[in-house]
Structure formats: C-alpha cells, structure tokens
Amino acid sequence: MEDMKDQVVIETENLTKVYGPQAAVDHVSFSVMSGEVFGFLGPNGAGKTTTLLMLLGLTEPTSGKVRVLGIDPARDSIKVKGVIGYMPENMGFYGDMDAVQTLRYMAELNSLPRDVADARIEEALKTVGLADEAKKKLSAYSRGMRQRLGIAELLVKDPKVAFLDEPTLGLDPDATNRMIELIESLTQEKKMTIVLCSHFLNMVEKLCKRVGIMIKGKMVAQGPMDWLAQEKLGLGSEEYTLEELYMKYFQEA
C-alpha cells in the first residue's frame, strides 16, 4: 500500500489543444499522485474543462503526451473511461427516472454484474443519504440532492480516479459541507485519486494538499500549497489563505 502512495496516476507533458487560432490549453505539464486530492484552479475559460476532456479521451489533444494510469486516452479511451469517474459541471439527469434506475443504468453502462451493482447501489444511496428518496423521480430532486446522486454514481462505478468539476456550484452552505464530507470519504475510504476543479477556494484549501493554477491555457503554478506560498508570497504556512495566493497569480498573469 505504501508504494502505491507515490505512484503517478495522471501525467501530462506539453499538453496542447488548439481551437482555431487560439490555444485553449498551451503546453501544460502536470502530474497527480495516487491517493491525493489535486486542486485544479483557474478563472472561467482557462482551459480546465478542456484538459479534463483530454484526460478522459473525449477530446483529442493537438500535441503533447497524456497518460492516465499508464493508458493513453487518445488511443484507448474505453479503457480510460473505465477507470475514471467524471462528474461534469452542470451534470444532467434523466428527470423521469428515479435514483435506483439512474444508478442501475450507470452500472449497466459499466458492465457491472447485477448482484454487485445492486449491493453497491444500496450502499451508495445510504452513504449519500438518499436512501429514503430513492424511489422519487429525479425531476423532483433539489440541486443538492442531484449533486449527491452524482457522488453516488461515482460510488457505484468505483473508479480509481475521479474528476469533479465544480461539485459545489450553486449549493447552499449546508449542502456544500455535506459535499465536502462526501469527497473526503471518497479519498479516505475508497482510496480514490481526485482531481477537483473549483472556484470555492475554502473547500480546495480544506481538501487538497497540492494545487495547480491554470490561467489562459497555461499552468502558471503547481505544487504543494505551502511551498507555493513560500515561493510567491514569502510567507509561512500559517499566514496566508489560498485566496490570496490565487489572486496573486491571477494579477500577475
């Protein structure tokens, strides 16, 4: 288990995606280690989602190298999609299905055997606290419930890596806290490696040890937060907030 700790799960080298005249992602290199929660920060339109799509094999990179668990997503996207759970921003659900049907569909798409799926679905619904609402149509779900169902989908799929794109967007404080707890349980109990995209810097600060800051398609900084703070602000780990750090980079770029 210990040597798993330092294994590289995601690795990119000079990853570039060009749309028309503009590079949406410009020579981005970063790596994510097994078991960590990597905070992926940056303003809207910085290229974070595009990078995630390339990691998933949903978009082909213009140039550069990507490896997820040693697999090239552009070559073998089916295999990569089998080991990554992706919770997109503004994730949609089929409104006329209930939670169990939704999770069962997810399990079928991942070719899980029926008995394994049923056991996982029951457990997942309990974990996210939706067991009582499991038979309700999703059109009647609140935003917080939908996001929790998204986490339940991850629990059913049980991938090695999870990409969470703005998981707390538009949630009330209570729902946000519940979401943070759930993400913590993903990494601690399920040992998932997590890439977390968010503007909610308090949460990132709480969950992540390492962050990457992406601005205008370029990765301007990456590393442990303490280290970045020391480097950039000349401050010890106690005297800064991630927000200050982020704004500093943002203003420089």
Partner 1 sequence: MHGLKAIFRKELADHFSSYRFIILFSLITMVSLIIAYMVGVNIRQGLEGVAKPKFIFLMLFTAQGVVFSLVQFVAFFGPLIGLVLGFDAINRERNEGTLAKLVSQPIYRDSVINGKFLAGVVTISVMMVSIVLLITGMGLIIVGVIPGMEELWRIFLYLIVSIVYVSFWLGISILFSILFRSIATSALASIALWIFFSFVVSIGANVIANAVVPDVKESDIEARVQHIKVQRAISLISPMVLYSDGTATVIDPTRKTTSIVLVGPMEKISQERFSGPLPLSQSILVVVPYIISLIAITAICFAVSYAVFMRQEIRSV
Count of CA atoms in the C-beta half-sphere (13 A) of 72: 9
Residue 129-168 contact track with partner 1, rule CB under 8 A, x = bound: ------------------------x---x-------x---
Residue 12-51 contact track with partner 1, rule CB under 8 A, x = bound: -------------------------------------x--
Contact in structure between 120 and 171 (CB atoms under 8 Å): no
- The end-to-end CA distance of the chain, in Å, is 40
Shortest reach from residue 114's CB to partner 1, in Å: 12
DSSP classification of residue 59: S
Task: Tell me if 110 contacts partner 1 by CB under 8 A.
Answer: yes
Task: Tell me if 192 contacts partner 1 by CB under 8 A.
Answer: no
Which residue in the set 105, 209, 239, 241 belongs to the binding site for partner 1 (CB under 8 A)?
A: 105
Task: Tell me if 89 contacts partner 1 by CB under 8 A.
Answer: yes
d(CA 139, CA 188): 31
Total binding residues toward partner 1, as defined by CB under 8 A: 29
Q: Residue 196 is which amino acid?
A: L
Q: Which stretch binds partner 1 (CB under 8 A): 64-72, 77-85, 180-188, 241-249?
A: 77-85
Q: Which stretch binds partner 1 (CB under 8 A): 4-12, 102-110, 174-182, 226-234?
A: 102-110
Write the DSSP assignment of 79-117 as a string of letters: HHHHHEEEE-TT----TTSBHHHHHHHHHHHTT--HHHH
Q: What angle do CA 164, 127, 172 make, to 5 degrees?
A: 55
d(CA 104, CA 84): 18
- The H or E element spanning position 122 is helix 114-128
Site residues, partner 1 (CB under 8 A): 49, 53, 56, 58-59, 78-79, 81-82, 84, 86, 88-96, 105-106, 108-111, 153, 157, 165
